[in-house]
Amino acid sequence: MLRRCGAALLGAAALSWAGGTVSAQEVAGAGWHVGETVRMVHPPVARNWRGAATEALVTRIWYPVDPTVPEQPHDVGAPGDPLFVGHPIADGAPLSAVRATYPLLVLSHGTGGSADSLDWLGAALAAHGYIVAGVNHPGNNELEPLTRDGFTLWWERATDASEVLDSVLADPKLGAHVDRDRIGAVGFSLGGYTVLELAGARTDLAGFDRFCGSPAADAICQPPEAARIRDASGAAVPLRDKSTDDAASPETKASRARSGASYRDPRVKAVFAIAPALGEALSAASLAAITIPVSLVAGAGDVTAPVDTNIRRIASSMPKASVTLVPGASHYTFLDTCLPAVANRLARICRDAAGVDRDAVHAKTAAQAVDFFAATLPAK
């Protein structure tokens, strides 16, 4: 699989990506079986919970398990109402003792989603020997009511990821088995923005507000998931509303005041960003100053995080980043594969363009992520 560097070669990267095939079995069935567990992370310091119902960082962890331990089929979603096809797992099985330590990746989901919506990727990476910790971001995940602060205080997500890293490194079962020199981050959509912040990108909130108030404003200014935000009376809550901003809590105003701060986590040595969103919110100077390896991937048919204002804008400031456009793929192609029973009900996120095989896109993207982290987080 060929990759090209720099924004100028996006077209070439897309063409090279289209060549060859990788089956899901080849990617997900690599050296290990996949274990899964959940941690409720309670950071020891005061933090901004963004009005979330759960004041904890609910974290899904995928990890390598000996292939002699059987995996069981499982689907992703609420009990009795699953939405997505899940990778088979050895739930709660012991971490494989084949290696003394394993690299660690923190995973960040997209707007209004969850770590489980990227099960295809977390499981594939675990099958290749990575511990993957996916945090459900407070106020912005599908497991509980969404909040306006969860949607608008995006930079707080980087603090979620860093505190999950703290927790995994201190975990009594996992911490001693993490190679602390081999830590990376992977994210999708708003999670792509999040991991770029971990790499050193900074938010220019005023610049983003100007963009969204201009004729150039596009879909990224009003993500469709925001329609699910409701106040106590059940009324819809607008994302972009000056009167609501003026009436914000002191905690919210304090968060906005630090929106342009650096959330660089020096433990993160490489970043893989899929369909990164909020490209217009990241300052070009901060993107240009990133020194760690970055790989950017998006669907050429993405209209949710439009290519020109997101991956192309980000890549234009990062000439050393590897960039891949997947022909025909949309934004939601990078979510788990939907179960047939929900495909019509959730058509917006389940249906792909004609000729796009979601499972094949997942397999090739996972293989690309494995190659990227193998090269950028090499074993000693």
354 and 320 Cβ atoms separated by less than 8 Å: no
Residue 53 pLDDT exceeds 50: yes
**pLDDT value at 6 more than 50:** no
Q: Lowest-confidence range among 178-182, 222-226, 275-279, 364-368?
A: 222-226
> Cβ neighbours of residue 231 under 8 Å, at least 6 residues apart?
237
| pLDDT value of position 14 | 40
User: Is the pLDDT confidence value at 18 over 80?
Assistant: no
DSSP letter string, 170-212: H-TTTGGGEEEEEEEEEEETHHHHHHHHHHT--B-HHHHHHHH
Share of the chain above pLDDT 70, in %: 88
Residues 6+ apart with CB under 8 A from 259: 153, 155, 203, 205
Domain parsing of the chain, residue ranges: 27-283+302-309
According to the model, what pLDDT value does residue 273 have?
98
The top-level CATH class assigned to 27-283+302-309 is alpha beta
Nearest C-alpha neighbor of 281 from the set 207, 354, 219: 207
Per-residue model confidence as pLDDT tens digits over 104-114: 999 999 999 99
349 phi, psi to nearest 5 deg? -105, -10
Task: State the pLDDT at residue 1.
Answer: 27
Mean pLDDT of the chain: 90
Determine how β-strand 322-326 pairs with β-strand 4-5. Answer: antiparallel
pLDDT interval class at 176 (50, 70, 90): very high
Check if the beta carbon of residue 146 is closer than 8 Å to that of residue 112. Answer: yes
Contact 222, 305 (CB under 8 A): no
CB count within 10 Å of CB 176 equals 11
Q: What number is the average pLDDT over the span 306-332? A: 97
- In whole angstroms, what is the distance from residue 309 CA to residue 218 CA? 8
| Angle at the Cα of 283 from the Cα atoms of 302 and 196, rounded to 5 degrees | 60
- Kindly state the average pLDDT of the residues 310-322: 96
Residues contacting residue 73 through CB under 8 Å, at least 6 positions apart: 86, 88
Convert the pLDDT of each residue in 198-256 to its tens digit: 999 999 999 999 999 999 999 999 887 777 777 766 666 666 666 666 778 899 999 99
User: Is 60 exceeded by the pLDDT of residue 15?
Assistant: no
Nearest to 264 by CA among 366, 158, 166: 158
Give dist(CA 242, CA 155) in Å, integer.
Answer: 20
Asked whether the whole model's pTM tops 0.85, one would answer yes
Integer angstrom CA distances of residue 307 from 91, 140, 302, 327: 38, 23, 6, 12
Q: Residue 143: which residues within 8 A CB-CB, separation 6 or more?
A: 54, 58, 114, 136
Q: In this structure, are residues 276 and 287 in contact, taking their beta carbons and an 8 Å threshold?
A: no
